[in-house]
Amino acid sequence: MQRLTFRSIIRPLVGCFAFFCITTVVYAHGTKTGDLVIDHPYATPSLSGVPNGAAYLRGIENTGSTADKLLGASTEVAERVELHRMTMDGNIMRMREVPNIELPAKTVVKLRHNGEYHLMLMNLKRPLKDGDRFDITLEFQRAGKQTVNVWVQIPRDGSTEHKH
Burial of 103 (0-12, 13-18, 19+ CB in 10 A): buried
Q: What is the pLDDT of residues 94-138, one digit of tens each?
A: 999 999 999 999 999 999 988 999 999 999 999 999 999 999 999
- Asked if the model's pLDDT at residue 92 lies above 80, the reply is yes
Separation of alpha carbons 55 and 162, rounded Å: 10
Query: Which element (helix H / strand E) includes 74?
Result: strand 68-75
Q: What are the sequence ranges of the domains in the chain?
A: 30-152
Separation of alpha carbons 8 and 110, rounded Å: 47
Confidence category of residue 23, pLDDT binned at 50, 70, 90: very low
CATH of 30-152, one of 3.90.100.10, 2.60.40.1890, 1.10.150.530, 1.10.10.10: 2.60.40.1890
pTM: 0.77
- Give the type of residue at 28: A
pLDDT at 114: 84
Query: Which element (helix H / strand E) includes 135?
Result: strand 133-140
Query: Which element (helix H / strand E) includes 96?
Result: strand 92-97
